[in-house]
Structure formats: structure tokens, C-alpha cells
Chains A and B, each alone.
Chain A
Amino acid sequence: MAAWELAKLLLQLDKRTLPHLWEIAGAFGTPSRRGGPPLAATLVEAALFTLRGAFFGFAIGALIGFVLGTIFAHVRILEQSLVPYVVASQTVPILAIAPMVVVWLRGSWWSVPLIAAYLTFFPVTINTLRGMKSPDPRAVELMRSYAASSWEVLWKLRFPASLPAIFAALKVAATSSVVGAIIAELPAGMQRGLGGAILNFNQYYITGPERLWAAILAAAIVGILFFVGVSLVERVVLRNIVRSA
């Protein structure tokens, strides 16, 4: 925060380039529309709307990623033939895809989670694949010596062994699902979310730059809260595992 104000002072940045922190803080208390609720209330509402989209997207993406990663870990031909496409999918700019998805789904709310899921499934797929292949080959032999079925090898060995990698991916996915949801709200013309708020305040940036900054801050907070939430779940689930560094 000191760096913020210092940069502003040293570089002689005006209000439009970088408003004072207290101006941003103050913006939360003032209504964005005359007679409306304070900006903070509007933003909390928008944040919850966006978080809902992000959360559904996160859940769908994580599930797809887990299933894909698990399949790839077991079927070598599929891994070799399909993983390049999974990687390629992430080089397509999300900004280009978002409007298409919105049109396909005729502007339905589901386009938001779907686009969030598009960003989420990738890290989860890759880390699930890596995690599922991580067990010591001897551990796999041990399971074979018990004549364990592949299903048991999956649930009693490969899945627990891959949890640290999966959680690492989920934490990345948590923040990117929020970014995905915000981006998806724009072409969908969804006014109620943070995406809508950011678009709206963008248009009035000259007269009230602190409001856009406040909206950006709100978006960051949503991302961080989601990240912290996943981290807490991780801490509970992995509480007994000391990861050897």
C-alpha cells in the first residue's frame, strides 16, 4: 500500500492513472447511482453472483479434469493422442471463445460456469494425470501381489497418492475460474456480476476512476477468498501427509 502511494507520488500519477487509496476506500461507501445503495453493497451482490458462476464452473471443470486425467493415466493411447489437444485448448484465447459459447447457449447463465470450467479443467487434468502416475512402482506391485482389482488400485493407491497434486491444481483453478466467470459475463451482457460492474465502471472511468478500482479490488478479493477456501479444504484432507520436500 505504501508502494502504491509512493509510486503515485514519485511518478506524479494523476487521479485517472492511479487514484488515492482512500479515494478507493471511500468509493465503497458512496452509492454508484444517485439514491442507490452504497457501492459496497452493489459489489457484494455482484461478487456473490460471479462467485456462483465461478464455483459451478470450478466444480464442472474439476470433475472433467479429474475424469480426463484418470483416463489418460490408464490408457496410454488416449494420453498420447489427446493430451496435445488439451494443451492446445489452452492456447486459444478465452476472449475469443467466450462470445461463441454465449451464442451457442443463447445467452443462458450456464455460459458463465462453462467458460470458467474451460479454464479450470486444464490444470486439474494435467496434475491428476501426473499424480495418478506418481506411486512407487513397487506399491503397484504390492497391490498386484494382493490380486487387487484395477478399481482398488485406483481408489486405494493412485487416488490418495495424487491428492497433493490435485489440490495444487485446484488452487490454481480456483482463481482462474473467477477470471473465467468475469470474462464470460461480458459478452453475455450479464449486468449483475462483477464483469458487468467492471464493464459499467469502465465507461465512467473518467468521472469516477475509483469505482473501477473498487470493482477490481472486489474481483481480487473473490479470487483470494476462493483460493483460501480451497486451501482450507486441502489442509483438512491432507492433514496427515507430510510432503517430503
Chain B
Amino acid sequence: MAVVSITNVNKVFGSGNRPQTVALKDINLEIQPREFISLIGPSGCGKSTLLRTIGDLIPPSSGEVLVNGKPAHAARLNREYGMVFQSPVLFEWRTVLGNVELPLEIMRVPKPERTQRAREMLRLVELHGFERHYPWQLSGGMQQRVAIARALSFRPQLLLMDEPFGALDEITRERMNAELLRIWQETQTTVVFVTHSIPEAVFLSTRVVVMSARPGRITDIIEIDLGYPRTVETREMPRFFELVTQVREALRKGEDMRER
């Protein structure tokens, strides 16, 4: 069964006499278990909107979003996905450990188990030893890893990530990419990942979903047949460059279609 199944989804913002924006038009997409899907496209093409629709943070104007076979709303109430934004959105009055425990606290996981699982997750993102620190004592990349640990702490089958590394420098970003792949394989989750970076999308994904703007549509889906594990060498393989070019051209084609 597909983890995410999107059928004929449309999203129009604005109503009454306010200007209307067609953020999503006729979106159809099936995401299988253990996939790593990247959404890529120009700014304003509806990537965040699509991600938030999957997470039931905004309702679609029409169409259907199923997560694990249930309506997205039921999946949210059932806590079936974890969310990571571009900014870490940590609670500054909580320690690193407290931040990772937050979702478990809301899900009424007993304190000892909560702490143990949060520590486990911090080890997974290589932040053991920082439990008692406060968010402002960490670098941007470390804060983002706390946010990932928090999203994974309750072991959701689905991870929704909206440009999680957008604010990081190139070197940190590549390191985080490698770490994310490791975590993805260890935790066996399905990931939907929004990005602006073509190499990042190619490096991480099993499939890259290319979108274009106004109206936001899916213009192409590109299989990334690089195999796993992917390492520093992957980025230097000829096939990697071919796929980067292919995604770039798909993006350009999407733009041209709009101009015509």
C-alpha cells in the first residue's frame, strides 16, 4: 500500500474579492514505503503547500490525500508523520533533550521511556553530550539535527521536510545530506523532502518530482537510479552529473511550458 496517495488535488488560496492563487493544480502522486521523494521547483510553485497538504496542516480545495490508506486528517490525529521546517523551530526555554521529548510528552509516553528514546535519537543525529544544552548554545546545523531528532522521536513512518538544510552552508549541507541518508536507512522511514538544490535532490532521492509555478503542477518525475549507499564519490560519478542535467532540463522545460 502506498504511504502517500494524492489524487486530483487542487489548492486555491484567496476567496471572495481577494486575488486568487492556484497553488496546486491537478496533482497526482503515489509514494511507496521506504521511498525518498524530493519536490523541486521554482519559488512559489507550491512545494510547501503540497507538503502541508500531505500533513493535513492545510486542507486541499478539492481532491483526496491518503496517508497509509487513511485520509490525511486521520493520519495526523494518529501521529503518523514527523515534520521538519527550514528553521529548526526549537522551544528556546527547553533543553535539547526537552525539545526532543516534546512530541513524546504530548503523546503521553511515560517519562523514563521518553528520556531514553530522546537520548537514543540524539545519538542517532550525533548530538549525545548536548542533552543539557539550550538551543541558543548550538550552531545552526546542530539545531537542525535536534529538529530531525524531534521529528523522529516518536518513530513516524513518514518524514515531511521543508527545505530543512536551506539555511546551511554548502559543506554542512553535504554532511547533513549524508547523515540524513544514514538515518533514513536506519529508521526505514519514507521521506518527502522539499529543496531548491538540484544536486541535493539527486544525491538523496529515489525519485525527484519536478514542479512548475502558476499554476503549481507536477511537470516531470525523474527516477534516480544511483543505488545506495551513496557517498562522497557518488557526487563525482558521471551518472550523477547526467541526472543533475536531466533535472535541470526538466525544470527549464516546466518554465518554458508556462511562458507559452
Contacts and interface: CB of A to CB of B under 8 A. Distances in A.
B106 A142 contact: no
B171 interface: no
A45 B155 CA distance: 62
Interface in A149-175: 152, 156-157, 160-161, 163
A240 interface: yes
B91 A139 contact: yes
A242 B133 CA distance: 13
Interface centre among A139, A146, A240, A241 (most CB of B within 10 A): A146
Contacts of A136: 87, 89
Given A144-B57, A145-B57, A241-B92, A152 B106 contact: yes
A144 B58 CA distance: 11
Given A240-B93, A241-B92, A142 B105 contact: no
B168 to A, nearest CB: 17
A233 to B, nearest CB: 16
A142 B83 contact: yes
B77 interface: yes
Given A145-B55, A148-B106, A160 B79 contact: no
Contacts of A148: 106
Given A144-B57, A146-B79, A148-B106, A160 B91 contact: yes
A141 interface: yes
B163 to A, nearest CB: 12
Contacts of A33: none
A147 interface: yes
Contacts of B85: 138, 142
Interface in A99-116: none
A141 B106 contact: no
20 contacts: A141-B52, A141-B83, A143-B106, A144-B76, A145-B55, A145-B57, A145-B81, A145-B82, A145-B83, A146-B79, A146-B103, A146-B154, A147-B77, A147-B106, A156-B91, A156-B102, A160-B93, A240-B93, A241-B93, A242-B92
The 3 closest A-B pairs by CB, nearest first: A145-B83, A146-B106, A138-B89
